[in-house]
Structure 1
Amino acid sequence: MSDTLTSTDIKAATDTERLPQPIPQPLRQATYKTQNNDFIVNEILPLDFTGEGEHLWLHIKKSGINTAYLAKLLSEWAEIPLRDVGYSGLKDRHALTTQWFSLRIPKKQLPNSEFAPVDISDNESVTIIAQHWHHKKLNRGTHRANQFTIILREIEFASNIAATDAKQATEQHLATISKTGVPNYFGPQRFGYEGSNVAEALRLFARPIPASKPKTKKSKRKRAPREQNAMELSAARSLIFNEILAARVRVGNWDNGLAGEVFNLNGSGSIFGSEAIDDALRARMMSGDIHPTGVLWGVSNDKVSGMAAQLESDIVRNDTLLTQLAMGLEQRDVKAQRRALRLPIEALSWEWLDASESNEQALILSFTLTTGSFATSVLASIVQHLQLGPA
């Protein structure tokens, strides 16, 4: 870690509760993940299976167990290398989740016994819901979206809201963000406990870059250093992005374009730049068809220009931590990408739990988010202080 930056500095910089919101949150405090069933995630992966091929796709419901460990258990059961087990994304351990896995089974020679892992505790469960044969492996990032059902417990309303109006004010807030979306911040899980992933990134950047060996015809391809340190590099880029987005939320231009802006076409990875903002672009932004973007820092950030480029550059240059992270990313030849500043919330609905069943206020939220976005960022737009439960 840099001599000029302490662990306290890193902890403060990665505290996502300090990130500004465009409108005040109606809840002062709430707890989530009190139990696994309070946080449900269903992977949305529309796909037509061929019924042929050597890849067995399994739709699995799990609780109390993380994706990577379940992949290991599946590889051991099928007696195949771990590299032959595919999944689209990582799902929370402390949650009830459904997701797809694929297993490459040569000649379709299935194990003699059903999958029933024994190395799990009473608080963990795994159930196969469906299975299909398919002609290819499931790759990372294949699923379109995730559907969430989240229960917020131990709710305390904001002090500026009268008790008699609290529920109505909360529902009005939810109706608003369902139309406007919320800032597309990276969630706290990206940065690790007290910013440990960012601290590791700084340590990585302080080390010399290994000299590359001359390529020969017989030499095998090795993973690039940025692939080997994906967690650290991702945390560095995410922190820079969050600070750029926070600055735009503070001045009120996070959801409308600047000169030189790069826009993202909603629901896709397509982007395009524009030197000036006209009425047609404003109408598309207002309708949610396109979103302004921020940089995931790296080299070749040449699509953005004008005021938008100047804003991003100024934010990084005027912050010691961000400058060190940006330089480290550039030195490792990480290529710049763009990420939407605005996160649309699909199919947002809510329901209050019957207060007569308990002494607490509780709220059930259901919504769908595109791949790569964070449910905690939606919760942060509603709750000032979000507490993680014991689940």
Structure 2
Amino acid sequence: MTVQDHDITTATDTAKLPQPMQPPLKQATYKAHTTDFVVNELLPLEFTGEGEHLWLHIQKSGMNTAYLAKLLSEWAEIPLRDVGFSGLKDRHALTTQWFSLRIPKKQLPDSEFAPVDISANESVTILEQQWHNKKLNRGTHRANQFIITLRDIEFADIDNSFSNPEQLLSTKQAVEQHLTTISQSGVPNYFGPQRFGRSGNNIREALSLFARPVPEARPPSNKGKRKRVPREQNTMELSAARSLIFNKILAVRVGDGSWNTGLAGEVFNLDGSGSIFASDEIDDTLQGRLEAGDIHPTAVLWGTANDKVSGQAAAMETDIVAQSPLLTQLATGLEQRNIKAQRRALRLPIEALSWQWQDIEGGQILVLNFTLTTGSFATSVLASLVQELSTSSSSIS
């Protein structure tokens, strides 16, 4: 069956993914201003104070991480490969993160880093610098702190006139109860809309990639060694394909309530780590660990050698893909390129969640402060809270 363009647009609309509970806010706006979306990289590390790697703690806005890395390499007159960073940070936000620069013999440029070829909407400030004996590698940081301001709030299922103080209090209490609940139970660990591009264009690119011949294996460099398949360079498309399959599996499991309770044959993730283990049955011990948040059920990031999952959990993943022509094409493309299967937790714990209401002219705003582990999306937390989440027409986009 041919996959239609509207099928992709619909499948990648993360706003329509199911939630375990009805969000208590009908509508809210975020990113109305750069400071409405703050991301701080949490990278606990003891610096050696020696070595040839200069680590810079930088605050930026209006600029993506890769472009800033390029500016740093040009300033230090070093190859771009000698600039390290742990993760990509949102361009349309106020963010802080670390970069490392390999400076041979510690010979710094004569002038301080102060890029001039940037627009009025872009800013870069160095907050701190340290010498260290190692380069900063991707995925080093443990978590990100988010400070998000929601504006233009409309509460769900009530007359949002603000004319009745008792009614306003009840709606605020409903929101606060919801926040208290998700701080204890977590939220579905969906990939956010940015993973799929505008209207799902990254999935269209993935399908286009999979329609092309698979790269041929390279000839062996030494006699007796196996041929090597060249490393796939289209990481954005491959990641989008795996993410869409994962989201659809998670959506089904949110629907049947197994996203945080587990299934027979489940593969579990140990909270706060990359460790996983499989279990044929859910016994009382595992159930207790699930309820305590010590472990989380997982779903596949599709690829070959998905042999850890079994039983009911494996059958569900296979059936969900088989029933969708779009997912089947994506899964086949991933397998043909020998992408290895991985596992991702279905449940996203929220650390240190707090909130504050602020009165403004015409209504109220809600400021959320929380921490998420690396690789998760703040939009998953917002989607659990807000039915219709939008960016302001005045936001930078």
Q: TM-score, normalised by structure 2?
A: 0.94
User: Within 1, Cα distance between the matches of 2:229 and 2:33?
Assistant: 39
Aligned residues: percent identity?
71
User: Within 2, Cα distance between the matches of 1:279 and 1:152?
Assistant: 40
Q: How does 1:211-226 map to 2 (within 5 A)?
A: 211-217=216-222, 224-226=230-232
User: Within 2, Cα distance between the matches of 1:133 and 1:308?
Assistant: 48
1:368 lines up with 2:371 in the alignment: yes
Q: CA deviation at 1:215?
A: 2.2
- Indicate conservation of the 8 Å contact 2:29/2:391, yes or no: yes
Gap runs ≥5 in structure 2: 160-166
Q: 2:114 is matched with which residue? A: 116
User: Within 2, Cα distance between the matches of 1:8 and 1:281?
Assistant: 41
2:364 is paired with a residue whose SS is: coil
User: Within 1, Cα distance between the matches of 2:122 and 2:282?
Assistant: 52
Segment of structure 1 superposing worse, 267-276 or 117-126: 117-126
Q: 2:11 is matched with which residue? A: 13
Deviations 1:341-369 (A, max 9, x none): 000000000001123xx213210000000
Q: 1:243 is matched with which residue? A: 248
1:274 lines up with 2:251 in the alignment: no
1:354 is paired with a residue whose SS is: strand
Q: How does 1:20-31 map to 2 (within 5 A)?
A: 20-31=18-29
Q: 1:327 is matched with which residue? A: 332
Q: 1:46 is matched with which residue? A: 44
Which of the numbers 342, 345, 350 marks the counterpart of 1:345? Answer: 350
User: Within 1, Cα distance between the matches of 2:273 and 2:306?
Assistant: 20
Kindly report structure 1 stretches of 4+ aligned residues shifted beyond 4 Å: 160-164
Q: 1:92 is matched with which residue? A: 90
Deviations 1:102-135 (A, max 9, x none): 0011111100000000011122111111111111
Q: CA deviation at 1:216?
A: 2.0
The amino acid across from 2:368 in the alignment is: L
User: Within 2, Cα distance between the matches of 1:69 and 1:247?
Assistant: 38
1:150 lines up with 2:163 in the alignment: no
Which of the numbers 370, 384, 387 marks the counterpart of 1:384? Answer: 387
Q: 2:235 is matched with which residue? A: 230
Q: TM-score, normalised by structure 1?
A: 0.96
User: Within 2, Cα distance between the matches of 1:361 and 1:6?
Assistant: 42
1:296 lines up with 2:301 in the alignment: yes
Q: CA deviation at 1:223?
A: 8.8
Q: CA deviation at 1:172?
A: 0.5
- Indicate conservation of the 8 Å contact 2:83/2:102, yes or no: yes
- Indicate conservation of the 8 Å contact 2:218/2:229, yes or no: no
- Indicate conservation of the 8 Å contact 2:56/2:128, yes or no: yes
- Indicate conservation of the 8 Å contact 2:270/2:294, yes or no: yes
Q: 1:166 is matched with which residue? A: 171
Q: 1:263 is matched with which residue? A: 268
Deviations 1:190-243 (A, max 9, x none): 00000000110000001111222312259xx999342x0100000000000000
Q: 1:336 is matched with which residue? A: 341
Gap runs ≥5 in structure 1: none
Which of the numbers 186, 189, 213 marks the counterpart of 1:184? Answer: 189
Q: 2:319 is matched with which residue? A: 314
